[in-house]
Structure 1
């Protein structure tokens, strides 16, 4: 595919309409006293909404280089990589794909369409996508609260398979890239076992556990300071246990056997209760395919809340050998698997709790 037509051929241009009131816009802020950037109408709001995209450990690996009004480069922030569990930055590119889909939705909501140019030729390239926002004269018919209310759910789900009607509605337009394995299917049980085994392997891999510890924000002060990573609320540690963790746990606690074993116990409970597994594949693992897989995940995710369906990416099987090499063959899947998603119905759907950095934190001026 011609790099200049990237994403426009894969649903990258959206023209829809909504009646939801638009957020207030703030035009002026400074990255530094030396290089202030004057944002044009809607730019901050669009980037704020785009940054609600999911990412592994909530690292938020995007960096935006401001070229000129409505013209940005989406960059790959290497300081936010997970080199232990994601040594080839596969998951980083998936996250940047989800970010670009969110940006597409947000831009359409404000009456722009996105003109995309692929810049990256590898997962490690600093510059990934060039995007220009062009006023379309049309407003996207997309409910922006779907971005604002998207969340990961980690608690056990209802023991009920996803209905054929719901699964068709969620995946019909891209069904060749989804494989649903319902609960009680032999492959569902096997994936449960392997997920627990892969988690155990990763949990007792000290480098991986230390990397996890680096991204857990135990205290409220830490969480507010970083506005990224995994908070106790995001990990769904509430009540007395959440209070204890936030006040007495430290990164060193993550390396203790008791913490590791408690985490594995939670994984065992999680995989035992779901509607099944949803696998998301791609034609290959090039940057183009990974970015599109990330976009595909976000397109799926924003449809879930209205159906009371929750999603929990569990990546350990795709990160740990030999499971990652064996999995496609065991399932009879010829394409690379990019996401392994625990999916299921839930009775209650809480509001999102994951923190996000402000636009100020990930926007830079190309002149600086």
Structure 2
């Protein structure tokens, strides 16, 4: 997640002249965290087929940009995927359900990228149960390219207000096999209110809020050093940091102006949403969560191909105690009895946004 220049303007009000001055010239020209963004431009450089596929897979969406994947390369054709438990989110994702969905996104993107070089991937998910690897992937010849590959480097999670333009029926039909698209005005209003109230629970529960604050990366140096979590960068935001208008301390204090304005801006964003995408599964086993991630990745690529924006707003699906009333309401509104809502996302037409930082592929490969 990142804060846009528009949001920052609202947060600091009259201090923007100072920030705009500081963000000019040479300072602005040097604020892009090139090292943290290099995996996007380096994906697909000539390399061994498994590494080629992995260079794209590390660009997959995942909760809080934790990038919870570690891989072993075994023999000449096998990848073993593990969840990096050091990247867990114990407060907001105590059962690692959302992280497992992120690993499903990784596997699907890896499979799509492998097909581009003619390789099919046979997946064995949780072959040894939850105590073992997430998946064993075996590459073999025989795959045709997937049309969605063309949109891999354009894919984003757009965390900005969307226009009030309705999602056309023909697009809803195209998305139908991947998710349940909700556009009825009354339903949309109810889901908007649910997402707002669930956000408030997360943001005003000290331990869950602190989990996010601890993952904030302030400015180019922090982002390059730790290219995961919640990146707060760019010339304008760094100027605000230099001016003392944006800080980790302020983001931890519900009484600070920055905190209050950030909450107000998040509410504005949530309410600028014309439609929602809902992804459910009949069960909630680890295999269901992996499958949900694979579908979400394809949904995200398909929305990109259609010129639509998608942004997960799954606070109501988090499984910590204070969220339970909203979790129950989300399932009442969005799922058949007994089914699990795995993902909930804002859907609409939003602005173009930059990519999120990523750890280099080399840091995600381990020795067996």
Q: TM-score range by the shorter chain?
A: 0.7 to 0.9
2:71 aligned with 1:50: no
Displacement of 1:161 in angstroms is: 2.3
Q: What is the deviation of 1:239?
A: 6.4
CA distance in 1 between partners of 2:169 and 2:290 (Å): 28
Greater Cα shift, 162-171 or 89-98: 162-171
Measured against aligned partners, the alpha-carbon deviations of 1:281-328 in whole angstroms (never above 9, x if no partner) come to 011110111100000001111112232210110111112221102222
Q: Identify the structure with bigger relative contact order (alpha carbons < 8 Å, sequence gap 6+).
A: 2
- For 1:186, the equivalent position in structure 2 comes to 186
Q: How many residues align?
A: 318
Q: How do 1:117-156 residues align onto structure 2 when only pairs under 5 Å count?
A: 117-119=124-126, 125-136=131-142, 138-142=143-147, 144-156=149-161
1:85 maps to which residue?
A: 92
Shift in alpha-carbon separation, 1:134–1:312, aligned structure 2, 3 A: same
Alpha-carbon contact 1:305-1:349 (below 8 Å) kept: no
Shift in CA distance, 311/247, structure 1 to aligned 2, threshold 3 Å: farther
Contact 1:161 1:274 in 2 (8 A): no
CA RMSD of aligned residues (A): 2.1
Q: TM-score, normalised by structure 1?
A: 0.81
1:247–1:179 Cα change, 3 Å? farther
Given the superposition, is the C-alpha separation of residues 116 and 232 from structure 1 closer, same or farther in structure 2, using an over 3 Å criterion? same
Q: CA 1:107 to 1:332, structure 2 compared with 1: closer, same or farther past 3 Å?
A: closer
> What residue in structure 1 maps to residue 171 of structure 2?
166
Cα distance in 1 between the residues matched to 2:288 and 2:128: 11
- Alpha-carbon deviation of 1:263? 2.7
Q: Give distance in 1, aligned partners of 2:279 and 2:133.
A: 25
Where structure 2 has 5 or more consecutive residues not aligned to the other structure, the ranges are 1-42
The answer to whether the Cα contact below 8 Å between 1:308 and 1:349 also exists between their aligned partners in 2 is no
Alpha-carbon distance, 1:48 to partner: 1.0
Distance 2:300 2:312 in 1: 11
Tell me the equivalent position of 1:11: none
Distance 1:242 1:158, change over 3 A: farther
* Structure-2 residue corresponding to 1:243: 239
User: How do 1:1-368 and structure 2 match up within 5 A?
Assistant: 23-26=44-47, 41-119=48-126, 125-136=131-142, 138-142=143-147, 144-171=149-176, 173-174=177-178, 178-182=179-183, 185-232=185-232, 240-241=236-237, 243-245=239-241, 248=244, 249-257=246-254, 258=256, 259-319=258-318, 320-331=323-334, 333-334=336-337, 335-346=339-350, 348-350=351-353, 352-366=354-368
Local SS of the residue matching 2:302: coil
Structure 1: tracts of 5 or more residues without a match = 1-21, 27-40
The alpha-carbon distance between structure 1 residues 229 and 332, as it changes in their structure 2 partners (threshold 3 A), is closer
Q: Is the 2:68–2:88 Cα contact (8 Å) retained in structure 1?
A: yes
Question: Residue 93 of structure 2: SS of its match in structure 1?
Answer: coil
Q: Please give the alpha-carbon distance, in whole angstroms, between the structure 2 residues aligned to 1:110 and 1:79.
A: 33
Determine if contact 2:68/2:99 at 8 Å carries over to the other structure.
yes
**8 A contact 1:84–1:208 mirrored in 2:** yes
The CA deviation at 1:70 is 2.2
Please name the residue that 1:36 is paired with: none
Given the two structures, how large is their TM-score scaled by the length of structure 2? 0.81
Judging by fraction of residues, say which structure has more helix: 2
Equivalent-residue separation in structure 1 for 2:128 and 2:276 (angstroms): 31
**Matched residues in 2 for 1:86 and 1:363: separation?**
24
Distance in 2 (CA, whole Å) between partners of 1:355 and 1:155 is 18
Q: Is the 8 A contact 1:275 1:344 kept in 2?
A: yes
SS in 2 for 1:364: coil
Displaced runs of 4+ in structure 1, greater than 6 A? none
Q: CA deviation at 1:195?
A: 1.4
Deviation for aligned residue 1:121: 6.6
CA–CA distance in structure 2, aligned partners of residues 245 and 94 of structure 1: 34
Distance 1:336 1:141, change over 3 A: closer
Residue 15 (structure 2) aligns with: none
Q: Please give the alpha-carbon distance, in whole angstroms, between the structure 1 residues aligned to 2:193 and 2:265.
A: 14
Q: What secondary structure, in the 3-state scheme, does the structure 1 residue paired with 2:107 have? A: helix
Q: CA deviation at 1:139?
A: 4.3
